Amino acid sequence: MNDNTAIISEIKRLLGDEPKLAYVRSFGCQLNTSDGEKIKGVLKNAGYGFTEDESEADLIILNTCAVRENAEDRVFGIVGSMKKLKELKPELIIGIAGCMTAQSHVAEKIKRSYPQVDFVLGTSAINGLPRLLLDALNGAGFEADITEYDDFSGTVEQVRGSSFKASVPIMFGCNNFCTYCIVPYVRGRERSRLPEDIVSEVEGLVREGYKEIMLLGQNVNSYGNDLGGEMTFPQLLRRLNDIEGDFWIRFMSSHPKDASKELIDAIFDCEKVAKHLHLPVQSGSDDVLRRMNRRYTAEKYLGIVNDIRSRDPEFSLTTDLIVGFPDETDEDFEATLDIMRTVKYDNIYSFIYSKRSGTRAAEMPDAVSEEEKGKRMRRLLEVQREISTEFYKRFIGRRMRVLVDDKAKKREGFLTGKSSEFIIVEFEGDESLIGRFVDVEITGAMNWAVTGRVI
């Protein structure tokens, strides 16, 4: 890790006594959100405060996502609109960070077409932020740092968005190379953090009163594969489960090819590990799965589900689904509906396939019209509503432990939270309960949540 102490001291000197404000906006996944919290930690140490209003900011950093091209287009649109901000406030510093910047052509485009941008920061280069910021304050002109520092010690302070829920990245990158996905190209290969660093971070968060720890990685199941057998992901779950305190552990995302019996055992054995698994299937068609390079079949996937449901027939499962992958046939799509009906997911995260330049799938022929893809998506959502409307009724009469998140948006005097099963629960209660665990007796079910009363 680079020692930035002298650089940060110089930044503080240049900023002076008058408070300077930073606007940091993160796009995309939870790993990106975690990176944004680390960026805020660096800026806090350098003397910045924070604002949610970009017009008030002295420094703007956009922490970008590259999963879909329309996400990039959106960011470019926002950056373009900041030209006027820079004209009104010439001393304003603008930086672009995140997955977009890992693509060399993007950094070149920003340098060429967006002169209002002062610097570009790579996904693994947060330790390079102080130097870039100091150079910008000194008027150095456009700079880019997309170095892979491989600093996963977790020592970078984070300005977390919640006082009771915390995300902890345990690994970075991906080795799977699904044909539709850009992540291995922008996040690099899998690199696991040392288990002792993860344990130390979680212990600290629990001491601070955090109630939910979300372990993050592009494929958390393969954690430790690069550590020479020092620790597997199920072993890490067991080690974290032994930490004293009242909290629970979640994780995402899991790849079915690595969802081992050892992992399922750990979920059921560890009382602090949430009783929910997000297991992205993407498609129910073996042909589509093969062309996606997912490296499992529908039969193998259902074997994992059967192992889980043999232990608990009502165990909570959620998934990701892609509709309209290149040349998806009617039969392929029906196979996806079939697997949904068989598994009975509590919730799905569904997407119409979006071509992503730089991936193998972008070169595949595709005879399916956008109109047909839209019809399929509507049908898929209809089937899921039918499933969840019926399946959520299983919770009626149960007592569920809920971590209270916030006030309900549409019901005055009501609160909302999630159960261990990752089910949204709404109930009447006082705001003082936010951030605490409560027991709720479930009295009703909708197709997206359950309702109840605090016991």
Beta-bridged to residue 355, according to DSSP, are none
Residues in CB range of 23: below 8 A, 6 or more apart:
50, 51, 52, 53, 54, 56, 57, 59, 60, 61
Least confident of 120-124, 219-223, 425-429: 120-124
* Whether the Cβ atoms of residue 183 and residue 67 lie closer than 8 Å to each other: yes
How high is the mean pLDDT of the chain? 93
* Homologous superfamily assigned to 396-454: Nucleic acid-binding proteins (2.40.50.140)
The residue assigned the tokens 């016991």 is: 455
Confidence tier at 348 by pLDDT (50, 70, 90):
very high
Query: Which pLDDT score, from 0 to 100, does residue 358 have?
Result: 87
pLDDT beyond 80 at 95? yes
Q: What is the pTM of this model?
A: 0.90
pLDDT beyond 80 at 253? yes
Query: Which pLDDT score, from 0 to 100, does residue 25 have?
Result: 94
For 220-240, the pLDDT digits (tens) are 999 999 998 889 999 999 999
Rounded Cα distance between 26 and 392, Å, is 33
* Nearest C-alpha neighbor of 339 from the set 369, 366, 307, 306: 306
Residues in CB range of 255: below 8 A, 6 or more apart:
176, 219, 221, 222, 280
For 375-410, the pLDDT digits (tens) are 999 999 999 999 999 999 999 999 999 999 999 998
Confidence tier at 107 by pLDDT (50, 70, 90):
confident
Beta-bridged to residue 406, according to DSSP, are 416
Rounded Cα distance between 4 and 6, Å, is 6
The arithmetic mean of pLDDT across residues 419-432, rounded, is: 96
Q: Encoding tokens for residue 418?
A: 């999630």
Three-state DSSP class for 407?
strand
Domain limits, the chain: 5-145, 162-274, 277-394, 396-454
For 74-85, the pLDDT digits (tens) are 889 999 999 999
Which CATH number among 3.30.420.480, 3.30.70.920, 3.40.50.300, 3.30.750.200 corresponds to the domain 277-394? Answer: 3.30.750.200
Alpha helices in 169-297 (DSSP H): 183-187, 195-207, 233-241, 261-269, 286-292
Could you tell me the fold of the domain covering 5-145? Rossmann fold (3.40.50)
* Nearest C-alpha neighbor of 196 from the set 262, 152, 246, 163: 152
CATH 2.60.40.10, domain 162-274, yes or no: no
CA 40, 41, 43, 48 dihedral sign is positive
CATH topology match: 162-274 vs 277-394: yes
CB atoms within 10 A of CB 386: 13
For 135-192, the pLDDT digits (tens) are 999 999 999 887 765 554 455 678 999 999 999 999 988 999 999 998 888 888 899 9
